[in-house]
Amino acid sequence: MVTAKVFRFGNSQAVRFPKQFRLASDEVEIFCRGDDIVWRKKSEKSARAFDLLCVFPDVDRDDTPPQEREGL
């Protein structure tokens, strides 16, 4: 297991990655998975998918109750 140094950078925290974990990207996606914090290179595909989803209008849907059916 490899460890990394965590330090303060102004009012934020920063992590100094060891050389073997350097990313070829200027941005990363960060999310929690249980107790783990996951950092990964930002994917252009996921950013494009999010942009496409944002164009859908917010629609207030009035869901109808389930149909009444006879038992078998």
Q: Are 6 and 15 in contact (CB under 8 A)?
A: yes
Mind giving me the DSSP string for 12-53?
A: EEEEE--GGG--S-S-EEEEEETTEEEEEEPPHHHHHHHHHH
Please tell me the predicted confidence (pLDDT) of residue 21.
87
**What type of residue is 17?**
F
Rounded to whole angstroms, how far apart are CA atoms 20 and 53?
35
Give pLDDT, residue 47: 67
Name the band, by pLDDT with cuts 50, 70 and 90, for residue 13: very high
How high is the pLDDT of residue 58?
67
Report pLDDT digits (tens) over 19-59: 898 888 888 888 888 899 888 877 767 667 767 777 776 66
Supply the pLDDT for residue 42: 76
